[in-house]
Structure 1
Amino acid sequence: MSAKLIFSDIDGTLINNELKVTPKTRDAIRHQIINGNIFIPASARLPKGIMTAVGQILKVFPMIAYNGALALDETGRALITRFFEAKEAAEICRYVEEQNNGAAWNIYSGYVWYSAEKESDWVKKEESIVDVKSTKTSIEQIAKLQGVHKGLIMGEPKEIDRMQKELSKKYIDLDFVKSSPTLLEIVLKGVSKRSAVEIVAQEYGVDLKDCLAFGDNYNDEEMLRAVGHPFLMGNAPEDLKKQFKPENITLDNNHDGIAKALESIE
């Protein structure tokens, strides 16, 4: 069996803990591309952040960004673009600041990542991970944006859990999904990696049963369930692993889990 479309999360999946694509994983993906298949990163990252990671493998590629709110083909043409209102984004930013718990808000619109003017260690850490600098701005300016692809709240796990519950009750038109214990992603209701994968596969004329997907966390779960050949990384949360068959769990991101799985489907 040879996959036609290979979807992959980035953080905790494609890259190791040193933020690198290992040579073995890089070569395994390139081998699939040489065989005529298409590699498509599917990430919560912004497009520039996806490019810094996947650029270690190839320079031109389609992508799914912002957990599915934006998808681009290899020419940069938008296949999906789903915004929520800037007014709501600004309200959420104010809510985060009012908590006074050290959490940080982030807003993503198009190719731009906005963060608060006040310095935050959370934001600095994310900038170092994705190798992209955020644009400092005010909440007043956030409210003036034409639309928002994604919001992101960074904070301590207990605070993230509490804010997720409170915000989910107040904003029923939005989805609040954790991509890690310290990261809470915000997108328009119905936006997900799964919905994006379904649209992109249709755009390329490939049946989902012929697609592979790799992921390591809760925001990848539905994407994995959508494809014919899902692979959960060995570093995924234990309760998530229980939801998948052993044959659908590969090695962790530090031990070439993607490469191992790709070898198994040759």
Structure 2
Amino acid sequence: MSAKLIFSDIDGTLITSQGVVSSTTIEAIRKQIIAGNLFIPVSARFPKGIMNVVDKITNFCPMIAYNGALVLDEMGRPLNSQFFEASLALKLIEEIEALDTNDLAWNVYSGYNWFSSLNKKPLIAKEEETIGVKSLPVSTEQIKELKGVHKMLIIGKPTLIDKIIPSLESKFPSLVFVKSAPHLLEVVLKGVNKGNAVKIILDSFAMDKGNAWAFGDNYNDESMFDSVGHPVLMGNAPKDLKESLSIPITLDNDHDGIAAVLNKIPN
């Protein structure tokens, strides 16, 4: 029987609402690894933020970071890297700061680095606590010196995030704006998504999508579901996503939804 590839989103999927991977889920994934199958984390997070979670399970796996803008093999070598110009990131920063509100905060990710504004807002501090990594406060002049930007993240009140999306999409047509949580707006180059990144991993292993499973809970996981033969939506996903997607729904992330599916997969 062919090996299986198991792709999993992290926040709202692999980890519980308390920010940890349950022992039941860890055991279920490790059983799959022992059986010769491969576990691949897929996240909007940057690499260090991913490994802070995944190292509880394994230290040896490919990964998809930045919603697919950076794809690494099991040795940490890039299989794909897509970024936009720092000058474009600066224009987006100016747009956010022009709103003159404490209810929005920008973040810039380049390579293995996470940058935030010098006047770090409480919104960023909360994200740092969630990820378990500190961002590096910088000036916009320092952003200008970056060779490229893999992702930006706008953190804000959900109602405000929803309000600004249409305007940002109109002003920045070369970028994609997609929510990974009600208060998190991910920004990547158009064409970047988890689904394309999953295809890159499948091709690198010469694997068919029929041997691939994917777990996710939010809008930025939709393209990933289309790229595997066995998509699974978490029980804690938004109601409209549950209604619009015709795929299996498992238990929520606080009740070992991943383990409930993996433990039924024949080895």
TM-score, normalised to structure 2, is: 0.97
Could you say what secondary structure the match of 2:214 adopts? strand
How many Å separate the matches in 2 of 1:178 and 1:242? 18
Query: How big is the shift at 1:222?
Result: 1.5
Which residue does the alignment assign to 1:99? Answer: 99
- Which amino acid counterpart does residue 140 of structure 1 have in structure 2? E
Report what 1:244 is aligned to: 245
Query: Could you tell me which residue of structure 2 aligns to residue 61 of structure 1?
Result: 61
2:208 is aligned with 1:204: no
Residue in structure 2 matched with residue 136 of structure 1 by the alignment: 137
* Number of residue pairs matched by the alignment: 265
Corresponding residue for 1:23?
23
Q: Report if the CA contact (8 A) 2:69-2:80 is conserved.
A: yes
Deviation, 1:159, is 1.3
Tell me the SS of whatever aligns to 1:12. helix
Q: Distance in 2 between matches of 1:15 and 1:9?
A: 9
1:81 aligns with 2:78: no
Shift of 1:3: 5.8
Shift of 1:2: 7.1
Secondary structure of the equivalent of 1:58?
coil
The one-letter code sitting in structure 2 at the alignment partner of 1:86 is A
Deviation at 1:119, TM superposition (A): 2.1
Instruction: Give the Cα–Cα distance (whole angstroms) in 2 for the partners of residues 25 and 3 of structure 1.
Output: 20
Alignment match, 1:172: 173
Q: Give the share of equivalent positions with the same residue, in percent.
A: 55
For the residue of structure 2 that corresponds to 1:107, the secondary structure is strand
User: Shift of residue 4 of structure 1?
Assistant: 1.1
Amino acid at match of 1:238: K
1-side partners of 2:146 and 2:12: how far apart? 31
2:11 matched to which residue of 1?
Answer: 11
Per the TM alignment, residue 244 of structure 1 is displaced from its structure 2 partner at its CA by 3.2
Aligned to 1:223: 224
Per-residue deviation, 1:243? 2.5
For 1:119 and 1:43, locate their aligned partners in 2 and report how far apart those are by CA, in whole Å: 24
Q: CA deviation at 1:58?
A: 1.1
Q: Tell whether the 8 Å contact from 2:10 to 2:43 is kept in structure 1 after alignment.
A: yes
Match of 1:39 in 2: 39
Contact 1:250–1:261 under 8 Å retained in 2: yes
Match of 2:155 in 1: 154
For each residue in 1:29-66, what CA deviation from the matched residue of structure 2 results, as whole angstroms up to 9, or x when unmatched?
A: 00000011110000000000000011111122110000
Contact 1:2 1:265 in 2 (8 A): no
Contact 2:3 2:36 in 1 (8 A): no
Segments of 5+ residues of structure 1 without an aligned counterpart are none
Looking at structure 1, the residues matched to 24 and 46 of structure 2 have their Cα atoms a distance apart, in angstroms, of: 26
Maintained 8 Å contact 2:234/2:257? yes
Q: What secondary structure does 1:260 align onto?
A: helix
Give the conservation status (yes or no) of the 8 Å contact 1:24–1:256.
yes
Counterpart for residue 72 of structure 1: 72
Structure 1 Cα separation of the partners of residues 101 and 265 of structure 2:
47
The answer on whether the counterparts of 2:154 and 2:185 sit within 8 Å (CA) in structure 1 is: yes
C-alpha contact (below 8 Å) 1:70/1:82 kept by paired residues: yes
> RMSD across aligned C-alpha pairs, in angstroms?
1.2
Distance 2:131 2:101 in 1: 24
Give runs of ≥4 in structure 1 deviating > 2 Å.
243-246
Equivalent position of 2:263 in the other structure: 263
